Every structure is written in C-alpha cells, then in structure tokens.
Copies of this chain bind each other. A is one copy, B any other.
Amino acid sequence: ANEASAQPVSPQAAAPPGGYHTLVVSNEGGVFTIRINRPDKKNALTMQTYEELIKALDQASNDKTVVLAAVTGTGDYYSSGNDLSNFANIQPDQIAKMADDARDILIRFVGAFIDFPKPLISLVNGPAVGVMVTTLGLYDAVYATDKATFHTPFSQLGQTPEGCSSYTFPKLMGTGKAAEMLLFNQKISAHEACQRDLVTEVFPDSSFHKEVTARLQRHAKYPVKSMVYAKKLYRDQEREILHKINAQECDRLVERWQSEDCINAIMSFFSKKSKM
C-alpha cells in the first residue's frame, strides 16, 4: 500500500464532511481530491457511491477555488468497480426495474465525466476493475503506481463495455488490444497500460503519493482558464459522440443485465463467494 491509504475514514461517521458517506473529499491549493473510501470492500461502487461521485464532480466543477480534480481510492485498491451486491437479492419481477434504475445512474455517472470542465486526473493507487477502468479514457491524466492492474472482465460476466470504452479504448490502443481487454477479459499491468496510452505515467509505489501530490500542486498553479479552454477544445470535438456512445452502451447493458449469460455469471460469482 502507499501513503494515500494511510487514513481511512469511517463511513459510519455521524456527520461526514460534505455529507459524503462513501467518499472522502478535500480541497487543497486548488486540488480537489475525491477518494473512494470503502477499503474493506476494495472500494467497490454501490449505488450510493455512484451518486456521491456525481455530486463530488459537480461540487468541484462549481467551486471557483478548484483548479483541477483528482480521483483515487483508500487502501490497497483503486476500485473493484461495480459492487455486484447491487445485483444481489433482486426478486425476478424486480429485475427489469433494477436494470432501468442502474441504466439511469450509469448514464448520469459517465456523463458527469464527459462534461467535467476542469482538468480531471486519476491517481490509480492499486488494482482497478470494470467501470473505474473504462472511464479512464475520459480523464485528462492517469497517474498509476507500478502495483496497479487494469481489468474489465465484461464477457466473463455476460456483460458489455461501458464508460465510453467501446470508443476510447480502440482510439487509445487500437481495436486489437482494446478487444483483448473488452471482449477477452485480459488483465494488464500499469506499464502495459502506459504503453497503450491508457495510463499517462507510472510511478514507483513507494513514492507514488508524494510524487503525484507534488505534480498536482504544480499543475494547479497554471492559469485555470488556459487549461479549461484547452480541454474544451478537444472535448467539444467528441462531446456529442461520447454522450451517444454512453447511451448505446447503457442501453445494451439493460438487455445484458437481464440475460441468462449475466444472471448465470452473477449467481456463479456469489455461489463461489459463499463457499469461501
């Protein structure tokens, strides 16, 4: 683990700062840090976590003292992605409603990344899975510890890609290497992810927290308008297509989540888990 993981904050705190229960949020010197804080669950995303991440990005966007935002995780994991318990204990007649609700929250979640106007930086402090990998193509920098791994086991779970990865991954690494991850469930290392331009720079785990903190503080001293307008130049070119892809991916997932492929894979997951 790196230094970023030193101080988990209890999600049970009576009055959490900023009203966040699953995140720890701070603003230092223009750097707005959003830390997913469910280390005992490998920072998996519950419905509440999705909502709080949307809220935190909105807060960072509107706070004039914020120059840039960073997303990271508490503990050894960056995030294990969607908390599969979101799918547990669903009655058969509730599956369609669950799928629609999940679609609604996912489309807003990814949309918040597409439209975030300031520089957005991911600090990948450990293994990253699923939607926390697929959305990396929407950040303006991805700094990773050399202990990070990147895994999107969609077809293994009977599902399909989200986070605009069906657009960003082929653009970043070519269709072949993208399909290896998105279709064939390949897990890659931080150095491989950097060669594929999914990660911007890899740091030794021992100095990760210190180096990226210094880096963010330096970035936050540049004129914010120049950075916001530069980002706007490249994001505006793709904003429309990104929202379109986001909707297509979410629509497909509504079908997938109700498919036998997915239901069997989820049941198998919990069955194995209960035997451990």
Chain A residues at the B interface, C-beta cutoff of 8 Å: 119, 137-142, 154-156, 158-161, 166-167, 169-180, 182-185, 196-201, 219, 222-223, 225-227, 229-231, 233-234, 236-237, 241, 245, 248-249, 252, 255-256, 259, 261, 265
Contacts and interface: CB of A to CB of B under 8 A. Distances in A.
Contacts of A169: 234
B174 A198 contact: yes
A185 B119 contact: no
Contact of A142 (B158, B176, B261): B176
A119 B183 CA distance: 8
Contacts of A154: 226, 230
Contacts of A179: 119, 140-141, 200, 230-231
B245 A233 contact: yes
Given A223-B261, A237-B241, 4 more contacts: A137-B175, A172-B174, A225-B256, A229-B256
Interface of A is mostly: helix
A155 B224 CA distance: 8
Contacts of A172: 174
B174 A259 contact: no
Contact of A141 (B140, B184, B249): B184
Contact of A200 (B166, B176, B185, B236): B176
A176 B200 CA distance: 5
9 contacts: A119-B183, A141-B176, A155-B222, A166-B234, A170-B234, A179-B200, A183-B231, A184-B219, A225-B261
B177 A226 contact: no
Contacts of A161: 230, 233
B248 A233 contact: yes
A119 to B, nearest CB: 6
A178 B185 CA distance: 27
A175 B140 contact: yes
Nearest to A234: B166
Nearest to A169: B234
B155 A256 contact: no
Contacts of A233: 160-161, 166, 245, 248-249, 252
Nearest to A215: B184
Contacts of A176: 139-142, 197-200
A225 B183 contact: no
A158 B234 contact: no
A169 to B, nearest CB: 8
A258 B159 CA distance: 50
Nearest to A140: B179
Which of A185, A196, A198, A200 has most chain B Cβ within 10 Å? A200
